[in-house]
Amino acid sequence: MTEPEQSYELATARLEEIIRRLDSGEAGLRETLDLVKEGRTLVEYCAGELEAVSQGLDEIKLDELIARLEAQSPEGE
Amino acid sequence: MDESPQTPAGIEGSALKGPFAVGAYAEMLREELRGRARLQLFGEIWTLRRSKARVYFELRDARGAVPCAMWTDKFEALGEVGSALSDGAQIVVAGGPDYYPGSKTSSPSFSFDVSDLRIAGEGDLLAQLAALRRQLQGEGLFEPQKLLARPQLPRTIGVITSETGKARDDILAGLERRGWAGKLVWGFAPVQDRQAASAITQALTDLAGTPQVETIIVARGGGSLADLFAFCDETLCRTVAMLRVPVIASVGHHTDQTLIDDVAAESCSTPTHAAEAAVPLDINGERAALRASTGALSRNAGVAVVGRARALAALARVPGTHIARQRRELHQDARELRAAGQRRLLLERERSATAAEVLRRKAVAGAGPDKLARLRTLEGLSIALSAHDPKGVLERGYAIVDDGDGNVITTAAQARAAEDLRLQFADDAVDAKITGSDD
């Protein structure tokens, strides 16, 4: 069984859902603690995604990328 | 027509002239065809193919067809009109018949030598474009790109544009505005010459085949519709429609939309907008939102734990508070009762004192002037009473006789009968016995 693919938009959508539930004040103590734990995991994931596109612009020409990929590809494959 | 010295004998019995050498005949035929009137033809263009020197196609209609050829330099001079030609397009050609006589080593051919060409049919390039647009739309090719999932935060973006154009700088500016600084793969390609469509198609295919590339931008700064015809190329547009990576196009005008704008996932008016469409999220804004989310989680966690702890503490205090309040109320009640009792006592005491005074005053008033006389009478009566007191009589020498049981003996007969008597003197009693009789 594979886990559903995570994405920034899915993570932020779930995070918003969690905060709405918490802010409603309807969650009990156990649910609140579970939601907070899940929310913090999502925040970490999202922060990682933002960090990945904040490392500084990395520009490469398509020809060079193809050449690099072909060089990496094992011969005969 | 000259006969060659090696001319063979003709067909026996034939009435026709000759035989003649075929090369001479071919040259004569070519000259005859070239001598025919030059004119314009119209029909559908089919099977366009290029060689280094010539461009070949067929002009057809329902009744027949003519093979056509055009010198490449003349075809190139048509500009982007040439790019818009596709099978079935209605065109008008100008020229005349020609014949290539061939040689011992090459085949002859007939063709209509085209010196000029224009797109006909509905009248112009736009009509031709509209027909292709209807065809692609009818095949449902406008939809697939729009149904693709668009990454909100792509790590790698592919860009197809001219290496020297302004679009490149505009894209970088758009990405910087988003705060995006990921990986950019530049697929530089010519965007307006005759090779543009095929070069762009190739770059698209290559970028889409690169696993890291999540979104592709195809950008050009604008230009006349004729200049933009590379982006209306049927093969290019069909390729875009079938890609599994979303393509954001920014090549046309507001007024002259190219076909790639129709088949792409999104069409933008400027390369800057295309860059912003490729990264829909503002990175700095997202960071702020994430900080807010973190704050909300911490706040809720705090409220959940601390708030409930306070509520529990408050609940724990309730019984003690209740008892203390009850005790305070009881003490208050007791104090009020005591105070009320004392007030009533004082009141009653005051009332009693008042009543006693009233009685005393009434008694005094009631006693009045007779008090002295009554005291005197009382004194007289007291004296009289003392005179009758038996104790006084006994002190004077008398005795009381009884039978010992308290029955007073007042006669001699009673004394004789009783025999045993008791004599009560003032100081004590003495028992006595009747021993004789006076009888």
Q: Where are the domains of chain B?
A: 22-121, 140-284, 386-433
- Is CATH 2.60.40.650 what the domain over B22-121 is classified as, yes or no? no
Maximal C-alpha separation, chain A: 61
- Chain B residue closest in CA terms to A27: B304
Number of domains within chain A: 1
Domain B140-284: CATH superfamily is Succinyl-CoA synthetase domains (3.40.50.261)
Please say whether the beta carbons of B308 and B302 come within 8 A.
Answer: no
Q: Output the pLDDT for position B55.
A: 93
The beta-carbon neighbor of B186 closest among A32, A56, A62 is: A62
pLDDT at A9 over 50: yes
Give yes or no for residue A2 having a pLDDT over 50. no
| Closest among B229, B227, B192 to B85, alpha carbons compared | B229
Domain for residue A1, yes or no?
no
pLDDT 10s digits, A30-76 = 898 899 999 999 999 999 999 999 989 999 999 898 888 888 876 54
> Does pTM surpass 0.90?
no
pLDDT at B223: 62
Residue B125, pLDDT score: 64
Which chain A residues touch B if contact means CB-CB below 8 Å?
A: 7-9, 12, 15-16, 18-19, 22-23, 27, 29, 32-33, 35-36, 39-40, 43, 46-47, 49-50, 52-62, 65-66, 69
* Cβ-defined contact of B185 to A22 (cutoff 8 Å): no
Confidence at residue B107, expressed as pLDDT on a 0 to 100 scale: 93
Domain-located, residue A3: no
User: What pLDDT shows up at residue B252?
Assistant: 65
Please, what sign has the CA dihedral across residues A37, A43, A46, A52?
negative
Return the exposure string of B317-344: e unless at least 16 CB atoms fall within 10 Å of the residue's CB, then b. Answer: eeeeeeeeeeeeeeeeeeeeeeeeeeee
Q: Which residue range(s) make up the domain with A39?
A: 8-72
Assess whether the region B22-121 and the region B140-284 belong to the same CATH fold.
Answer: no
Do residues B240 and B204 touch, judged by C-beta distance below 8 A?
yes
pLDDT at position B77 is 84
pLDDT of residue B369: 58
Q: Which residue numbers in chain B have pLDDT < 50?
A: 3, 122
The answer to whether B236 and B201 are in contact (CB under 8 A) is yes
Can you read off the two tokens belonging to residue B278? Answer: 């490729």
Flag whether A27 is in a domain.
yes
Under DSSP, is residue B280 helix (H, G, I), strand (E, B) or coil? Answer: coil
**Phi and psi at residue B3, in whole multiples of 5°?**
-100, 135
CB-side exposure of A62: number of CA atoms within 13 Å? 25
Quick one: pLDDT at residue B387? 66
Spatial strand order of the sheet with B429-433 comes to: B400-402, B420-424, B429-433
Measure CB to CB from residue B186 to each of A9, A43, A59 and give the nearest one: A59
Please state the ipTM of this predicted complex: 0.83
Q: What is the pLDDT of residue B25?
A: 95
Cβ–Cβ below 8 Å for A66 and B210: yes
The residue length of chain A stands at 77
> Is A23 inside any structural domain?
yes
Smallest CA–CA separation between B178 and chain A, in Å? 11
Residue B229, pLDDT score: 74
Residue A21 has pLDDT above 70, yes or no: yes
User: Nearest to residue B247, comparing CAs of B145, B161, B162?
Assistant: B145
Chain B residues within 8 A (CB-CB) of chain A? Answer: 151-155, 158, 172, 175, 179-188, 203, 206-207, 210, 279, 281, 283, 286-287, 289-290, 293-294, 296-297, 300-301, 304-305, 308
Which chain A residue lies closest to B291 (C-alpha atoms)?
A43
Phi-psi sector, B18: left (phi>0), alpha (psi -120 to 50), beta: left
**How does residue A1 score in pLDDT terms, banded at 50, 70 and 90?**
very low
- Are residues B248 and B274 in contact, defined by beta-carbon separation less than 8 angstroms? yes
Q: Which two tokens stand for residue A25?
A: 């004040």
CA-wise closest residue to B275 among B187, B203, B190, B179: B179
User: What are the structure tokens assigned to A49, written together?
Assistant: 């995604």
